[in-house]
Amino acid sequence: MTAAVKIPSSSKAARETLLSRAAKVPPAYFVFVILLVTLWLTRPQMININVMGTFIRQVAPLGILVLGQLLVMRVRSIDLSGAGVVLIINYVISSGILGDANAGLLVIVALAIGVSLGLVNGLLIGKRRASAVLVTLAVNTILVGVVQFLASGKPPGNVPDAFGDVYNVKYLSLPSPVIFWIVLTGVMAVFLSRFVFGRHVSSVGENPVAAHFSGVPVERTVIIAHTIAGLMAGIAGLVQTSSLGVGSIRFGADLPLEAVAATILGGVVFGRGDGGVWGPFFGVLSFALLFVVMTSFGVPDAGKLIARGLIIMLAATYYGLRTNS
């Protein structure tokens, strides 16, 4: 009797978890699959590791920036200073203000810039409790101003050849920036799932008050998250600079907002702790694929903007409706 009652209820429960699990899949995966199928049906010759590699290589800086963005968004913060960090690193490398520094030193300086800017963001947001949107926006504005002032409006110069050499290497017909991005994503995934810090991130994102009373160092978690985001922005700056090959003072203004969009598409939601690392990864891939599909159909830039906005809106709506019910 009891067994007869139990079995249906447990199978119903199983069905429910299966359904709710399906609903938990980030929209990025669906968008990615839909775009891939569209491309495969209409332009099968494009599905080719060399062609795709070239396109995906271009979004690697965005993908690395997203790794930092998802971290700060999971602790209920946001980082809009990515564009400024990428710009200043591009300037430092291409202007030669460090004299004849070798590539290794330049890399270390770039990473140090990223980390220290992230730490400044983190301290102002975590310790001073200033608004994350405004702090990172202000830091971004200052950095853009500093770069333009130092360069006095002109493109600074060339990037040392070593960067381009590393950038153009291919292993197993995958471009090196793509491999680097995948490895970095894997490291971040392990870091968040296997280390105590990852647990802290989840609990702060879930409920900062509860986290505080359970002994989780909320401030420190936010500060570290922002510092890592700064480091990621530094790495993104290095990859972006290598891809450009020259100094530039006007690029990447949309980078931080694109990173937020890809993170949302990947299933990380403001003010909630959930979300993984691979969802946003496919969010970035979806953006790359969207670009390929739209270009192959000859859609003008205006149409690309509209399609991208609609996809972000639909992805966010999908999440919003799910949390409503």
Instruction: Give the binding site for other proteins (CB under 8 A).
Output: 75-78, 124-126, 128-135, 137-142, 144-146, 148-149, 152-153, 208-209, 218-219, 222, 257, 260-261, 264, 269-271, 301-310, 312-313, 316-317, 319-321, 323-324
Query: Which CB sits closer to other proteins, 10 or 317?
Result: 317
Least distance CB 152 / other proteins (angstroms): 8
Least distance CB 257 / other proteins (angstroms): 6
Query: Which CB sits closer to other proteins, 147 or 174?
Result: 147
Query: Which CB sits closer to other proteins, 89 or 151?
Result: 151
The answer to whether the beta carbons of residues 27 and 315 sit under 8 Å apart is: yes
Which tokens sit at 252? Answer: 């990447």
Least distance CB 185 / other proteins (angstroms): 22
Least distance CB 218 / other proteins (angstroms): 7
Query: Which CB sits closer to other proteins, 45 or 323?
Result: 323
Q: How far apart are the C-alpha atoms of 163 and 37, rounded to whole Å?
A: 35
Query: Which CB sits closer to other proteins, 40 or 251?
Result: 251
Least distance CB 324 / other proteins (angstroms): 5
The answer to whether the beta carbons of residues 212 and 104 sit under 8 Å apart is: no
Phi then psi for residue 41, to 5 deg, are: -75, -40
11-46 b/e (C-beta count within 10 Å ≥ 16 → b): eeeeeeeeeeeeeeebbbbbbbeebbeebeeeeeeb
The answer to whether the beta carbons of residues 252 and 59 sit under 8 Å apart is: no
Q: How far apart are the C-alpha atoms of 264 and 269, rounded to whole Å?
A: 6
Least distance CB 301 / other proteins (angstroms): 7
Residue 322 burial (CB count, 10 A): 12
Query: Which CB sits closer to other proteins, 58 or 131?
Result: 131
Query: Which CB sits closer to other proteins, 239 or 265?
Result: 265
| Distance (Å) of CA 253 to CA 135, 140, 171, 190, 300 | 17, 10, 31, 31, 20
Farthest CA pair distance, the chain = 84
Query: Which CB sits closer to other proteins, 68 or 175?
Result: 68
Query: For 45, which DSSP code?
Result: G
Least distance CB 288 / other proteins (angstroms): 17
Q: How far apart are the C-alpha atoms of 189 and 267, rounded to whole Å?
A: 14
Phi then psi for residue 215, to 5 deg, are: 85, 15
Least distance CB 134 / other proteins (angstroms): 4
Dihedral angle sign, alpha carbons of residues 324, 18, 74, 306: negative
